[in-house]
């Protein structure tokens, strides 16, 4: 491999995780957009922040 002599640890990391990283492409294309753009935890934190900020303004 081209970079294996210069960056052996990086190449090893990429090679060992390649299959896991490309599992996304095994899903139908219609599902990929939803998988890629859905972040439930981020949404939850945003909602908590929104409600907390609103409650603080009322007091």
pLDDT tens-digit readout, 3-22: 889 999 999 988 898 888 88
Whether 3 is in a domain gets the answer: no
> What separation in angstroms does the CA of 11 have from each of 1, 3, 6, 41, 48?
9, 7, 9, 31, 40
Flag whether pLDDT at 34 surpasses 80.
no
Q: How far apart are the first and last CA of the chain?
A: 63
The per-residue pLDDT for 35 is 74
Predicted TM-score (pTM) of this structure: 0.40
Q: What is the mean pLDDT of the chain?
A: 80
Question: Would you state the pLDDT for residue 8?
Answer: 92
Domain membership of residue 1 (yes or no) is no
How many Å apart are CA 16 and CA 44, to the nearest integer? 32
Domain containing 21 equals 8-58
Domain presence at residue 27: yes
Number of domain units in the chain: 1
Q: Does residue 39 lie in a domain region?
A: yes
pLDDT bin (cut points 50, 70, 90) of residue 47 is confident
């Amino acid at each position: 491999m081209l970079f294996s002599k210069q960056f052996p640890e990086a190449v090893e990391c990429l090679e060992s995780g390649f299959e896991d990283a490309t599992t996304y492409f095994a899903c139908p294309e219609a599902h990929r957009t939803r998988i890629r753009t859905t972040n439930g935890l981020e949404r939850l934190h945003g909602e908590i922040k929104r409600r907390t900020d609103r409650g603080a303004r009322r007091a």
